[in-house]
Chain A
Amino acid sequence: MRKYLKVWWLYTINSFQVQLNVRWAFVLFIFAKILRFAAFIFFLVVLVKSTKVLAGYNLDQVILFFLSFNLLDILSQLIFREVYRFRAVILSGNFDYYLMKPLNPLFRSLFTGADLFDFATLIPLIFALLYFINKLQLLDIIHLSSYFLMLLVGLVIALSFHIFVLSLGIFTTEVDNAVFVYRDLMGMGRVPVDIYMEPIRGLVTFIIPVGIMMTFPAKSLMGLLSLSSLVYSILFAAFLFYLSLNIWKIALRNYSSASS
C-alpha cells in the first residue's frame, strides 16, 4: 500500500510539472471551468426564481444538487485523469511497459495522472456546499454520514465506469469519446433526475445510473432517500465494480500489442 501511495505521489508531482510547462493554458482551462459553472448556476437562479420550483425543489435545493454533482464530477476527474490518456498508450504500444513493470497495470492506467489543477476548483466548491448545507439546516451527523456514504457509492460507480472505458480501449482503441459519453451521461445529473419523464427517469436512476451517483447523495443529505434506495445503491455499486474488474481481466487476456 505504501509503495502504491509513493508511486501515486511521484506520478502526480510529475504530471503537475508537465502541466506547469503550459501553465497559461491550464489557467485558461480553470477559468473556463469556473465560467461554465457560474453560467449554469446563473441560469438555474434566473429560471427557478421565476418558476419558484424545479421538479418540486426550491432554489437552494436545486443549487445543492448542482454543487453535489460538481463535487463528484471534479473528484472523479481529479482522481481518474490518466484514463483520458489511455488511447495514446494503447496506440503507441506503451501499454506493454505497463504490463512488464512490478506495478498493477490497472492502477497505472487509472490513478497516475491526478490533476492538481482540479484540486484548486475543489476548495471553493466545498465552501459553497457547506454554505448551502448550513442554509438548509442539514448540518447534523445523520444527514452528513449518509451523504458521505452516498458520495463513496458514487465514486465506486465512477471508478467502475472508468475501468469499463479502459477495457473498451483495449478492445477497440476508441477511448476518447467513450470517456466523454460517460461525462455527458453524468452531466444529465446536473439537476435532480426527477426532471426526466418516465421511462427515462427510471433508466437514468437505476440502470445507467446517473441518479444514484449524482442525485442520491444530495437526496440523502436532505433526508429524501428511502432506506431501500440506499441499500440498492450500495449493492448496485458493488456489483458494477465486480463486473468491471472481471471485464478488465478479460480485456487484458485479449490484449495484443500494437506499434512496432
Chain B
Amino acid sequence: MSKYWEIFRITWQQFLIYRVNFVIWRLRTIMQLLLVYFIWWSVFKSQVQVFGYTASSILTYILAASLIRTIVLSSRASDLIDSINTGSIVNFLIKPLGFIRYFLTRDAADKLFNIGFFIVEISLLILLLKPPVIIQTDIAILIPFFLSIAGGLIIYFCINFIIGLTAFWVESSWGVLFLMSVFLESLGGGLFPLDILPKNLFSALMLTPFPYLIYFPAKLYLGGMNYSEMLNGFVVIAIWILVLILLMRIIRDAGFRHFSAVGN
C-alpha cells in the first residue's frame, strides 16, 4: 500500500513542478464552462422554459456537469501511450508494481488535485455570476448521484486505458484518443442535456457508455428521474464496467505477449 502512496505523492509533486501548465489547464476548463454557461444563460433571457428545463435547472445541470467532468475526465491513463512508445513500460515487468493499479493511483492523484482547484473556481464563479442553482439535499438522490460518478470514472478509466494499450500495436494512438474526447464532448452531455435530442437518437445513445460519464450523474443530481430510469441506468453502467474490465485485461495480456524491448 505504501508504494502506491508514494506514487500518489510523486504525481502531486510532478504537478507542482509544472505549476504554470496546471494553472493554464484549469483556466481552459473555466473558459469551456463559461461558453456553455452563457449559451444557456442567453437562451433563458427571453424564455421561461426550454425542452422542459427552467433557467435554474439547466444552469445547475451545466455546473454539475462541469464538476462531474473534473472528477470523471481527469485521468493520467493516456500516459500509458508514452510509456509503451518510449519503452519505459518494461519497468512494470521487472518491478513489484501492479500495472493497472499504478495508473489508477496516478488517476486518483490527478482527480484530487483537479477537484481542489474546481472548488475554488466554482465558488468564485457562483459569487460573480450568481446563477440560480439548485442545491440538492435529498440523500436518496445524492447517494445514487455519487454512485453514478464512481461508475463513470471506472468506465472512463477503462476506455482510456484500452486506447492506451493500442500503442502496443500501432505507432500513434493519439488519433483514437482525440476521437474519443470528441465523442465525449459531443455525446457525453457536457454541452447540453442529452434528453433534448430526438427520442430515438437519445434511446440509442443511452446504450453506449458515453452518457454515463456526464449526462446521467448530472441528470440524477437534478432529481426527477424515476426509479425505473435510474435502475436501467445503473444496469447499463454495471454491464459496461464488466465488459470494459474484461476487455482491458485481455488486451493488456495480449499486449505484453506482443511487446518486445531492446537496448541496455
Contacts and interface: CB of A to CB of B under 8 A. Distances in A.
29 contacts: A21-B171, A22-B175, A25-B171, A25-B174, A25-B176, A27-B175, A29-B175, A29-B179, A31-B179, A32-B181, A32-B182, A39-B182, A51-B43, A51-B46, A174-B20, A174-B21, A177-B20, A178-B24, A181-B24, A181-B31, A184-B31, A188-B34, A191-B39, A194-B42, A195-B38, A195-B42, A197-B38, A197-B41, A200-B38
B28 A184 contact: yes
Interface string A183-200: 011011011001111001
Interface in B3-40: 18, 20-21, 24-25, 27-28, 31-32, 34-35, 38-39
A177 B28 CA distance: 8
A22 B35 contact: no
Interface residues of A, number: 41
B186 interface: yes
B191 interface: yes
B30 to A, nearest CB: 9
B77 to A, nearest CB: 18
B39 A35 contact: no
Contacts of B129: 197
A249 interface: no
Nearest to B198: A46
B68 interface: no
Given A32-B179, A174-B21, A176-B21, A195 B32 contact: no
B175 A36 contact: no
A181 B27 contact: yes
Given A51-B50, A195-B38, A185 B31 contact: yes
Contact of B175 (A25, A53, A196): A25
A171 B129 CA distance: 35
Given A25-B171, A26-B175, A46-B196, 15 more contacts: A22-B171, A25-B172, A25-B176, A28-B178, A36-B185, A36-B186, A47-B50, A47-B196, A54-B39, A54-B42, A54-B43, A185-B31, A188-B31, A191-B39, A200-B38
A251 to B, nearest CB: 16
Interface in A21-63: 21-22, 24-29, 31-33, 35-36, 39-40, 43, 46-47, 50-51, 53-55
A55 B42 contact: yes
A47 B25 contact: no
A24 B175 contact: yes
A180 B39 contact: no
A99 B35 CA distance: 40
A35 B174 CA distance: 16
Interface in B34-63: 34-35, 38-39, 41-43, 46-47, 50-51
B192 interface: yes
Nearest to A33: B182
A69 to B, nearest CB: 11
A172 interface: yes
A178 B38 CA distance: 23
Contacts of A55: 42
Contacts of A176: 21
B186 A35 contact: yes
Nearest to B30: A184
A120 B182 CA distance: 19
Nearest to B42: A195
A177 B31 contact: no
Interface string B134-176: 0000000000000000000000000000000000001111111
Closest 9 CB pairs of A and B: A28-B175, A25-B175, A39-B186, A177-B24, A195-B42, A25-B172, A32-B179, A32-B182, A22-B172
Contacts of B187: 39
B35 A188 contact: yes
B46 A187 contact: no
B117 interface: no
Contacts of A24: 170, 175
Contacts of B27: 181, 184
B183 interface: yes
Contacts of B247: none
B197 interface: yes
A180 B28 contact: yes
Contacts of B186: 35-36, 39-40
Contacts of A35: 179, 182-183, 186
